[in-house]
Amino acid sequence: QVQLVESGGGLVQPGGSLRLSCAASGSDFSINVMGWYRQAPGKERELVARIINGGTINYGDSVKGRFTISRDNAKNTVYLQMNSLKPEDTAIYYCNALIYLVRVGYTYDRWGQGTQVTVSS
């Protein structure tokens, strides 16, 4: 079983920055896609940013130009640098990975437990 462990959430003032991290741990796996989604109260979960093997990066429209996603393949870790944060960025941020289990040849979607990001003065 592959685990995703997130860190880096918290409270920040508007205009501030935060950096989220998500590390995948386990054995005999590879990651095809890794990224972040978020869910605000009363809203559906939405894509924030993701990195696809081969280097393709997708961002949600509301974070383009402010957030940057990066990945350290050696550490199976993905980072989300969030700058110029706005109150509307307040949400629970979830790490997501499309994981391939090498031994059984099986691909599945894995979610982290979520980390709260609150942007408020």
Show Cβ contacts of residue 114 under 8 Å, excluding neighbours closer than 6 positions.
Answer: 6, 39, 92, 93, 94
Pair 65, 71: CB distance under 8 Å:
no
Q: What is the mean pLDDT of residues 97-109?
A: 94
Distance CA 118, CA 35 (A): 19
Strand duo 115-119 + 10-12: pairing: parallel
Give pLDDT, residue 100.
Answer: 94
| pLDDT tens digits, one per residue of 9-68 | 999 999 999 999 999 999 899 999 999 999 999 999 999 999 998 789 999 999 999 999
Give pLDDT, residue 88.
Answer: 97
Average pLDDT, the chain: 96
